[in-house]
Chain A
Amino acid sequence: MMDSVMGRAGGILTRRRFFEQLAAVGGVSLAMAGMDALGFGFASASELPPTLTGGGKGAKVIILGAGLAGLTAAYELGKSGYNVQVLEARSFAGGRAQTARKGFVDTDLMGNRQECDFDEGEYINIGPWRIPYHHQSTLHYVKKFGVQLELFNNDNDAAYVYFEKGKGPLAGKPVRKGQIAADARGYTAELMAKVASKGDLDAVLSPGDRETFIAYLVNEGRLKRSDLSYKGTDGRGFDVLPGAGIDPGPGKESAPYAFTDVLNSKAWQVLNSVAGWEQQRTMLEPVGGMDAIPRGFVKNIPDGVIKYNALVDRIQQNPKGVKVSYTDAAGKKAELEGDYIICTIPLSVLKNIRMDVSKPFLEAMNNVAYAPVNKIGLQMKTRFWEEKHWIYGGHIYNDIPGIGTISLPSTNWHGKKGTLLGYYAFGGEAAKISALPPAERAKFAVAQGQKIFPEYAENFETSFSKSWHLDPHSLGGWAEWSDDGRKTAYPVLCEPDGRIYLSGEHLSYLGGWQAGAIESAWQQIAKLHQRVQQA
């Protein structure tokens, strides 16, 4: 059966031809079932934008916000013959997809003005910074606009973990993640294997399964087959590295930590059987900064479509059309009329703008919280993490309040300098650090990083910090839906209120990701288009 339907292109099977042939034989449903069976079950809706056949019929759409959702809507609708106009509060496009590099200016609600003074070529993605391989919607535009990608190291066994709230000799000590993984899983496998071999798990394992289970544990924990013990393994590193000749020759493998020390360290918090769906080990990033994606959109949207420095004051609608009042760059009041609105303004900001929508819609908007989120880029004189510690990208997981993760750049390997992410923290911890002026935030970040790398403070040159909850145009990093809000408010906001359609990461289950913004825009413009075609 498989052979007869498997498509071959010049003798080579391609996935697409395989599914096309399945579709030809059994219809689309069989093809979809086949995709699911093979684990390719990604619905096509999240891979490609909707096809807007039939054109815009002269409809004028006002798009509020030139972040990823607004840019997607403007690009797709404009391309399909709609009359689009975008109002953007900032002086640039991209929304939260911002990259701080030399000359980038940010002023927060507290009046902290920062002008980035990194060296040429150094940068920090203060908003989105990594793209899981399965975010095909984001990658669709990356490809379309010719944005160059590089690998983002999202999991590095050589990176340190540092848990100061643990107990025992490993607490408050930088330890390589691979060592914690080898020991925690090795000892656990040893325990299970020994219990199983005594027959103590026979209630749940058939005799055949028992042997296979033990074989799995030997493999998983790198146990000695003879006595099912864990005595360390080469993967956790060497005290003397193997090399040439007799000396160092085979080298000397490192000894495992005691199981109790590993458990008490709490460092096992970094271990999971498999990466979370959103935290794939394989991630990607645009070369030179995430803002390459919005810049790709802007290059492909006609000049004049996006009006910058336009602050929306009032959003009106009636059965015949919509009207947006805004303040332009010169401080002058202006108005824009149209047929529909796609509003991508974060709900945290939108709730402060008067808008003609129903009461349930307004109440739903108030039902979502936004996350305080902090990031700081620290420019370092040398790449000591690579040179001295052999850590090429990845994260330093830790439990230092206010730090979250420290992350090492996946770009410009072996460059002269480097810019690392000194903290990436959320919630109350982020709120606390954001109350400090920028110089104090940097001082805090450097002092904490020094606990992990002895070279940290002496290499620190300059910083750029961002607190998203203090950004007047974002007022938070991303929407944080409660289970209750998802049930009650979310469905209300996903549907248009009259002629107003909301869109953005907040109206997706990919919250906080660019893919959420893009796919939300795809969904809303498809709905809008259907309505225009029927009008």
Chain B
Amino acid sequence: MDSDESGKQYWAANIRLVTVLLAIWAFVSFGMGILLRPMLMGIKVGGVDLGFWMAQNGSIYVFLILIFVYAVMMNGIDRQFNVDEE
């Protein structure tokens, strides 16, 4: 690592990314899939309500997207701060 300052910024960028992604993770599963389901009853996905679909199928697709977004963005941050693997 070049300097302590760059190291701190790298770690802060990482924490920001992880926080945003985990907020989405919690919102789709605990939020839309469980706690907010009664409020989302009116919205339909095919033959089921949105909360039911998020809980049984939709949140899994979002989880997948989150992990791949993390991998792409984090590898980018690694390069930006010059800490990637050679």
Chain B associates with chain A: no
Q: What is the interface of chain B, defined by CB distance below 8 A to chain A?
A: none
A residues with a Cβ closer than 8 A to B are none
